[in-house]
Amino acid sequence: MALSRQEVKQMADLARLELSEDELAAAEQDLDKVLGYVERLQKVDTQGVEPAAMPARTEWREDVALPCDEAAREIIISNFPARQGDLLKTPGVFENPKGGKA
């Protein structure tokens, strides 16, 4: 099931994405690949395969801030590789996924 350029543009508009013509072309190809894979999955015979479900976690731990003395706080902050004042800087999830080279 191939999508037309207009359908891809409509989806981008719904997602509030401004895509250039090159980005629309790339998105069109990527979506065609995804939909092709879904079509392949729909052809897999699943007769006799029991559905698997992961039970939802029903008990959640409350997020509690524990007090810490000033000396311990300074040790923690001083050992952090990147910081800005008292803020600790971590790698961006989408900028450098899984520790790969950006």
Sorted by where each begins, the domain ranges of the chain are 5-42
More confident residue, 19 or 93: 19
Is 102 a residue whose pLDDT tops 50?
no
What global pTM score does this model have? 0.47
How far is C-alpha 54 from the geometric centre of its chain's CA atoms? 20
Query: Is CATH 3.40.50 the right assignment for the domain spanning 5-42?
Result: no
Q: What CA–CA distance (Å, rounded) separates 44 from 76?
A: 52
Q: How crowded is residue 19: how many other Cβ atoms within 10 Å of its Cβ?
A: 17
pLDDT tens per residue across span 20-40: 999 999 999 999 999 999 999
CA distances from 97 to 26, 34, 83, 102 (A): 21, 21, 20, 8
